[in-house]
């Protein structure tokens, strides 16, 4: 068999086209200022209703007698189980440690988050879907072209076909721009990954009512609006191969990877699944599973009706946060190059112990009872930041297929020049983070949201002002 010729790397070509798309704010399909009205129109055009129900009213779901785990009768979709975590700072468990138990979502199958790209008038556009998710506060947000678990696109729920899935399962390797496994929230999922994909086409794609083509510049503008671009779309877009317009960094790539490897090595996180009935510190009644002190999150059940979904009506469990979260990067320029302060964060549900997270990532309500010295580093600096120091701010909701009304205030805040990173924190450039998103399990989902917002807002084509 003849050996195929080696193909040149095409990231640079993609980066230039992506920069042009990011600099283009007039799309061929819809004006940016009309998108919100279009989303509202799609919300009105379909029947959407979400109602909290007792666990006993769940259809096809129930608590296992032996374990108390909340499972689907088919064995598909996901389960709510227990998790026991012991985390130590030393590589041999000889440092300070934390230990806790909690409910957790176990969903072993890998879902597809896929955005279809196509050039119109020489500019790359992305096909976004106005998708209903039961946990979204406003129900409908812009999602990837395809957003589906394996159970969804193999029709384990008995619903209709997932539109345009043929572009992603499997993709044409000649048309792939992004294809990488990325982790979901390590604090609420156990070892959960989704396949983040961007695939280009030259086909005439059918235009259903719930889809629209937008440039990256239009999407960037919409990321400044509250609860408009959903979490999965933000995650996928963060993986785009942008140009590095400000070369240079405090640490070389080798130094950054060495620091990160050291952080992974020094954390000893031992997480094991346990029966839900064995979880200590949590209580359950007919409608909710919650922490005894009212912190962290709750597990509850909902009944859903959505006329533009693959399945018209269903019931399912969801997780609900106890308050508005705060997710923030501290930002500063070092020798004229923008840097963000990342945190090497260890979560019990991560596949590989540590991922790079924003400077601050928490729900302040969970720490309100603690003295300032015991709250997350930089939390008060972010909460007290004057308006003049805030570079970016929007409220985004998390994945509405598993979480109910889980929202966070996302921020990029100018740092005080005297900030000295404590252990576990480092200054890196957005370009370095972007390079790491090309590989799975380096940059966590919250950091990917902020990265998508920063990159889309700053990208420009070569030669532009």
Binding site feature residues for dTDP-4-dehydro-6-deoxy-alpha-D-glucose = 61, 149-153, 187, 232, 282, 345, 361-363, 366-367, 399-402
Tell how far CA 35 is from the center of its chain: 22
CA–CA gap between residue 263 and residue 128 (Å, rounded): 37
Query: Looking up tokens 């129109």, which residue turns up?
Result: 41
Binding-site residue ranges: 61, 149-153, 187, 232, 282, 345, 361-363, 366-367, 399-402
CA–CA gap between residue 268 and residue 253 (Å, rounded): 25
The DSSP H or E segment spanning 125 is strand 123-132
Contact between 447 and 356 under an 8 Å Cβ cutoff? The reply is yes
User: Greatest CA span in the chain, whole angstroms?
Assistant: 69
* CA nearest to 434, candidates 424, 426, 443: 443
Strands 111-120 and 123-132: antiparallel
> Measuring CA to CA, how many Å separate 413 from each of 44, 100, 318, 384, 416?
37, 32, 32, 11, 9
> Would you state the structure tokens that stand for residue 367, as one six-digit string?
């720490």
CA–CA gap between residue 428 and residue 334 (Å, rounded): 10
CA–CA gap between residue 108 and residue 126 (Å, rounded): 29
Nearest-5° Cα angle at 30, 214 to 118: 35
């Amino acid at each position: 068999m003849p050996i195929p010729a080696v193909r040149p790397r095409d990231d640079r070509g993609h980066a230039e086209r992506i920069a042009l798309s990011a600099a283009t704010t007039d799309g061929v399909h819809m004006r940016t200022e009309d998108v919100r009205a279009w989303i509202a129109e799609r919300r009105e055009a379909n029947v959407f209703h979400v109602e909290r129900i007792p666990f006993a009213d769940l259809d096809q779901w129930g608590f296992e007698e032996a374990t108390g785990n909340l499972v689907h009768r088919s064995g598909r979709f996901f389960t709510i189980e227990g998790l026991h975590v012991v985390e130590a700072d030393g590589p041999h468990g000889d440092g300070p440690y934390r230990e806790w138990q909690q409910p957790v979502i176990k969903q072993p199958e890998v879902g597809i988050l896929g955005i279809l790209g196509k050039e119109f008038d020489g500019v790359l556009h992305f096909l976004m879907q106005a998708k209903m998710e039961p946990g979204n506060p406003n129900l409908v947000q812009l999602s990837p072209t395809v957003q589906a678990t394996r159970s969804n696109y193999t029709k384990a729920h008995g619903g209709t076909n997932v539109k345009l899935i043929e572009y992603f399962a499997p993709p044409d390797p000649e048309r792939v721009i992004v294809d990488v496994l990325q982790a979901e929230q390590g604090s609420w999922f156990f070892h959960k990954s989704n396949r983040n994909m961007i695939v280009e086409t030259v086909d005439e794609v059918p235009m259903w009512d719930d889809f629209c083509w937008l440039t990256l510049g239009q999407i960037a503008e919409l990321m400044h609006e509250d609860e408009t671009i959903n979490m999965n779309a933000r995650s996928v877009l963060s993986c785009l191969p942008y140009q590095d317009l400000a070369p240079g960094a405090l640490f070389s790539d080798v130094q950054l990877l060495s620091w990160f490897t050291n952080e992974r090595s020094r954390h000893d996180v031992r997480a094991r699944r346990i029966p839900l009935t064995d979880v200590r510190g949590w209580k359950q009644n007919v409608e909710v599973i919650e922490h005894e002190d009212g912190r962290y999150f709750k597990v509850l059940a909902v009944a859903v009706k959505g006329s533009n979904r693959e399945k018209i009506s269903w019931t399912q469990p969801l997780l609900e946060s106890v308050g508005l979260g705060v997710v923030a990067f501290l930002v500063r320029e070092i020798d004229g190059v923008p840097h963000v302060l990342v945190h090497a964060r260890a979560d019990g549900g991560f596949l590989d112990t540590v991922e790079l997270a924003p400077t601050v990532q928490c729900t302040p309500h969970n720490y309100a009872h603690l003295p300032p010295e015991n709250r997350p580093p930089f939390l008060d600096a972010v909460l007290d930041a004057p308006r003049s120091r805030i570079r970016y701010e929007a409220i985004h909701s998390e994945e509405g297929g598993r979480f109910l009304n889980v929202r966070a205030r996302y921020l990029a805040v100018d740092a005080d020049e005297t900030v000295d990173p404590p252990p576990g924190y480092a200054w890196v450039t957005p370009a370095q983070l972007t390079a790491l998103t090309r590989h799975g399990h380096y940059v966590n989902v919250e950091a990917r949201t902020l990265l998508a917002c920063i990159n889309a807002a700053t990208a420009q084509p070569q030669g532009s002002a």
